[in-house]
C-alpha cells in the first residue's frame, strides 16, 4: 500500500489472516511457556482489551485457563496483583501503549511471573518488559483506526489458546487439525462478509447517516465485538456510540431509548438468544431503527444475515468485520474524511504512547 486507508486495511484482512494461519504452530511456540499456568492476568486498553474479551471464552475452553482482563491504567494505580495470577499478557498492537507498559513494570517490580507481549511490532518497547513475545503478524498499521490489527489480535489469541491446549494434552492432533480447518474456512468467508455488509449499507445508508446515536447489544463472546463497535464508531462516525452487554442494557440504559435511537443486536447461536430476542422485540416498539447482525440467513432489509454457521466462541473473529465496514461507510456518507488526521498532538499531550505514532 502506497497510502493505506482504513478501508484498504479491511480489504487486506483475508490475505493477512491466511498468512497468520500459515505461521501456526511455529509462531506460537515461544508463547507456550504459559502452558504451565492456569490463571492469566490480561492487560490492554482500547481495541486491545476488546480483542481480549473477544477471544476470552475460546481460550478458556481450549487451554483450560482463567483470564482476568484488566484496564492497565486503573490496574497500575488502584489494583493489587492477585496472589493466584500465574502469568501476565500485555496486549498492545503498536507495542507503545504507555499504560500497559507501566502495568507490566509494576508487576515485574513486585513479582517474578512469566509475561507475554502480544503485539504487531516484536521489537517495540513493550517487549523489553516481558519474558516472551507473540507477534500477531499484521505489521504496522499506519492509520489511526485499527482494523486488520484487531482481527489479527483476535485470531492470534485464539490460536495461542489452541496451541496451549495441545501442549497441555487437552487437544488431540486430530482436534487441532479440525480447529485449524475451521479457522481456514472462516477466513475464506471474509470477502463474502464484506460484500454482504456493503449491500446492507446501501439499503440503510440514509438511516445511518441521520443517526444521532448508535448502540450495539451483545452477549458472551460478542461483548468484545460490540465494545469494538463502540470504539470504531466513536473514532470514525463521531456521534455518541455504545457497545453494551445484554443484561447490562436491561438495567438502566434501555430507559434512554427514543424513536431516533439506532440499535444493533448481535445474534450468535446461544441459549441466551431467546432473551436477546425478547429485548429486541421490545425495543422495536420504541424505535423503528432496530438492526440485527446474525450468523443466520436473512432477507430482511434491516438484518445483516451472514448466512454462515459459526461456533459461538469463534464467531467474534468474523463478527467485527461488518462494523469495521459500516464505520468507514457511515463516516464517508457523513462527509468525514478519515484520511485527514485530527488531534495530531494528542498522544504527546496526554502521554498515551511512548512515541509519536507514524500515521499517514
Strand partners, 67: 40
CA distance linking residue 55 with residue 25, whole number of Å = 18
| Residue ranges of the chain with per-residue pLDDT less than 50 | 1
The Cβ of residue 283 has, within 10 Å, a number of other Cβ atoms equal to: 19
The Cβ of residue 75 has, within 10 Å, a number of other Cβ atoms equal to: 20
Q: 42: helix, coil or strand?
A: strand
CA distance linking residue 259 with residue 274, whole number of Å = 24
DSSP state of 97: B
Would you state the pLDDT for residue 239?
Answer: 97
Would you state the pLDDT for residue 353?
Answer: 65
Would you state the pLDDT for residue 292?
Answer: 98
- Give the residue among 26, 63, 23 at the shortest CA–CA distance from 42: 63
CA distance linking residue 342 with residue 360, whole number of Å = 11
Angle at 51 (CA atoms; ends 88, 232), nearest 5 degrees: 140
| Beta strand 262-267 pairing with 241-245 | unpaired
Spatial neighbors of 274 by CB under 8 A, at least 6 apart, are none
Would you state the pLDDT for residue 349?
Answer: 74
- Give the residue among 256, 258, 232 at the shortest CA–CA distance from 243: 232
Would you state the pLDDT for residue 348?
Answer: 67
Would you state the pLDDT for residue 159?
Answer: 98
The Cβ of residue 135 has, within 10 Å, a number of other Cβ atoms equal to: 22
Q: What global pTM score does this model have?
A: 0.95
Q: 91: helix, coil or strand?
A: strand
Would you state the pLDDT for residue 33?
Answer: 84
The Cβ of residue 100 has, within 10 Å, a number of other Cβ atoms equal to: 30
Q: 339: helix, coil or strand?
A: coil
CA distance linking residue 189 with residue 196, whole number of Å = 11
Amino acid at each position: 500500500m502506497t497510502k493505506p486507508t482504513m478501508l484498504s486495511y479491511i480489504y487486506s484482512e483475508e490475505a493477512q489472516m491466511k498468512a497468520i494461519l500459515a505461521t501456526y504452530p511455529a509462531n506460537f511456540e515461544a508463547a507456550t511457556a504459559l502452558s504451565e499456568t492456569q490463571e492469566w492476568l490480561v492487560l490492554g486498553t482500547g481495541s486491545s482489551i476488546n480483542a481480549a474479551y473477544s477471544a476470552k471464552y475460546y481460550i478458556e475452553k481450549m487451554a483450560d485457563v482463567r483470564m482476568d482482563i484488566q484496564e492497565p491504567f486503573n490496574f497500575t494505580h488502584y489494583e493489587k496483583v492477585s496472589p493466584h495470577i500465574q502469568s501476565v499478557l500485555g496486549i498492545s498492537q503498536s507495542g507503545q501503549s504507555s499504560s500497559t507498559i507501566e502495568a507490566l513494570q509494576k508487576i515485574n517490580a513486585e513479582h517474578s511471573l512469566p509475561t507475554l507481549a502480544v503485539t504487531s511490532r516484536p521489537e517495540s518497547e513493550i517487549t523489553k518488559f516481558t519474558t516472551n513475545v507473540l507477534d500477531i503478524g499484521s505489521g504496522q498499521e499506519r492509520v489511526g483506526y485499527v482494523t486488520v490489527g484487531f482481527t489479527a489480535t483476535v485470531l492470534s489469541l485464539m490460536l495461542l489458546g489452541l496451541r496451549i491446549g495441545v501442549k497441555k494434552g487437552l487437544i488431540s492432533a486430530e482436534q487441532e487439525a479440525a480447529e485449524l480447518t475451521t479457522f481456514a474456512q472462516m477466513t475464506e468467508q471474509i470477502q463474502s462478509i464484506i460484500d454482504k455488509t456493503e449491500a446492507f449499507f446501501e439499503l440503510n445508508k440514509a438511516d445511518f447517516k441521520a443517526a444521532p446515536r448508535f448502540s450495539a447489544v451483545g452477549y458472551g463472546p460478542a461483548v468484545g465485538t460490540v465494545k469494538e463497535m463502540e470504539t470504531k464508531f466513536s473514532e470514525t462516525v463521531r456521534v455518541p456510540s455504545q457497545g453494551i452487554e445484554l443484561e447490562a442494557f436491561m438495567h438502566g440504559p434501555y430507559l434512554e431509548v427514543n424513536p431516533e435511537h439506532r440499535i444493533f443486536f448481535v445474534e450468535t447461536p446461544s441459549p441466551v438468544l431467546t432473551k436477546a430476542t425478547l429485548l429486541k422485540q421490545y425495543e422495536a416498539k420504541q424505535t423503528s431503527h432496530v438492526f440485527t447482525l446474525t450468523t443466520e440467513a436473512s432477507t430482511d432489509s434491516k438484518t445483516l444475515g451472514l448466512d454462515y454457521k459459526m461456533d459461538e466462541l469463534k464467531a467474534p473473529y468474523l463478527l467485527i468485520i461488518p462494523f469495521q465496514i459500516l464505520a468507514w461507510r457511515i463516516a464517508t456518507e457523513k462527509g468525514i474524511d478519515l484520511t485527514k488526521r485530527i488531534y495530531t498532538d494528542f498522544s504527546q499531550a496526554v502521554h498515551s504512547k511512548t512515541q509519536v505514532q507514524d500515521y499517514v
